[in-house]
Structure 1
Amino acid sequence: MFYHIVQPAYWSTLEEATPYTPETFAAEGFIHLSTQEQVAGVLERYYAGVRPLLLLHLDETRFSAPLRYEASTGGELFPHLYGPLNRDAIVQIETLPEV
């Protein structure tokens, strides 16, 4: 299982029938994902004080795009999806609690 964080304001602008790409996809060429163990650190580093947020729970066996682990600036390996996220890979959408 992998996870992706998205702001509801952006999520709500997307059509349900189309594959998901985050706002940064055109510039970066991939989708940032996290393992369960990495989610808390990502929230702390990049989303401190930012709410509301959605946490997409993703079944990697359903990905139609290639997945690669790549080192972050701190050297930790993070999963990156190199293509749009097919909607059938999203198995749950969790609203994260307020901080």
Structure 2
Amino acid sequence: MRITYHGTPRAWYERLDPAQPYVPADFEREGFIHCTDGREAVSIILTLLYRDDPGEWVVLYIDKEKVQAPIKYEDPAGIYPHIYGPLNRDAIAAVAPIGRSPDGVFLMPPELENLQAMG
């Protein structure tokens, strides 16, 4: 399993139909799903972009080997894949809340193995 991460507001994720593929709120405008390889990198990116958003967020743990839509790395570092299509739900290995410090900084999400052990 090769995991990439996608952060989204909890309220958005919970209002979607779980029988349908996942798409983020900005999918129609952007045409792809932003992802980040690496647990530390996802917390850094979410903090940079959404630190002032007071809402609760969740992180999708996406198994890249199961994603049906094309995945493209378009950044020089090769750690920010874009999924060019709706995300088939069976590619989501786990969904977990992401913690935050009092000043809005997103904490590093737990390792997938730890999530599986909890539930």
Identify whether the pair has TM-score above 0.5, normalized to the shorter chain. yes
Quick check: 1:64 aligned with 2:68?
A: yes
The structure with the greater share of residues assigned to strand is: 1
Measured on the aligned residues, the alpha-carbon RMSD in Å equals 1.4
Distance 1:10 1:40 in 2: 19
% same residue: 36
Deviation sequence 1:38-76 (CA, Å, 0-9, x none): 2122122112143411000010000000000012xxx65
- Higher-Rg structure is 2
Q: How many correspondences in the alignment?
A: 96
Match of 1:42 in 2: 45
> Where do 5+ consecutive residues of structure 2 fail to align?
102-119
Q: CA deviation at 1:23?
A: 0.8
Alignment TM-score, normalising by the size of structure 1: 0.88
2:4 partner amino acid: F
Return the alpha-carbon distance in structure 1 between the equivalents of residues 47 and 9 of structure 2: 15
Q: Provide the rounded CA distance (Å) in 2 between the counterparts of 1:98 and 1:33.
A: 19
Q: Which has the higher contact order (CA 8 A, sep 6+)?
A: 1
Q: Distance in 1 between matches of 2:57 and 2:43?
A: 13
Moved over 3 A (4+): none
Structure 2 length as normaliser, TM-score? 0.74
